[in-house]
Amino acid sequence: MPMLTDLIAASPDDASAILVTQGHANVWSTLELPAITPAQWASLRFVLMRQPAEVRALADYLKGFERLGASPDSVEGDPWLVALPEDLGLLMAQMSLEEIAEHASNWQALETSRGQPVLALDLEALLAELAAFAASALAQGQRLLLWICP
């Protein structure tokens, strides 16, 4: 069964509430996404920076993905929440429409070479949505939180 992911614009202080709220998209600004793994988010950062995504660099960058709101009562299969690194949100917000096609092509090529193609039907449209969502979140002083339900 594929995992579900949402990108949520919220304060990290809201993490525990987000995790226990049924229908969090009705409370917090949410962008429903295809299943994009934290490693794919990390590779997107390197694409946006136009830097090579070496395995070691990806692993080091993933250390900046902060898990939030973990409950001691959590069981396997419960959703979890990760704060994306702030620089990734800023890079997404700064994407221009002219850059999106290039970034989409480069991201898909990178992920395909890693054996993890991004499962979006239209990656350019997804990046355009991410750019707008990230810009809106930053304008409101919010962080980008990744909700993952395995």
Mean pLDDT of the chain: 91
State the burial class of residue 129 (Cβ atoms within 10 Å of its Cβ: 0-12, 13-18, 19+).
Answer: middle
Give the chain's count of helices (H) and strands (E): 6, 5
Q: How confident is the model at residue 75 (pLDDT cuts 50, 70, 90)?
A: confident
Domain count of the fold of the chain? 1
Which residues have C-beta within 8 Å of that of residue 46, sequence separation ≥ 6?
52, 53, 57, 58, 61, 110
Q: How confident is the model at residue 125 (pLDDT cuts 50, 70, 90)?
A: very high
Structural domain of 70: 4-149
Share of the chain above pLDDT 90, in %: 75
- The β-bridge partners of 99 are none
- The β-bridge partners of 66 are 83
pTM: predicted TM-score of the whole model, two decimal places: 0.91
Residue 72 above 70 pLDDT? no
Mean pLDDT is highest, among 89-93, 106-110, 111-115, for: 89-93
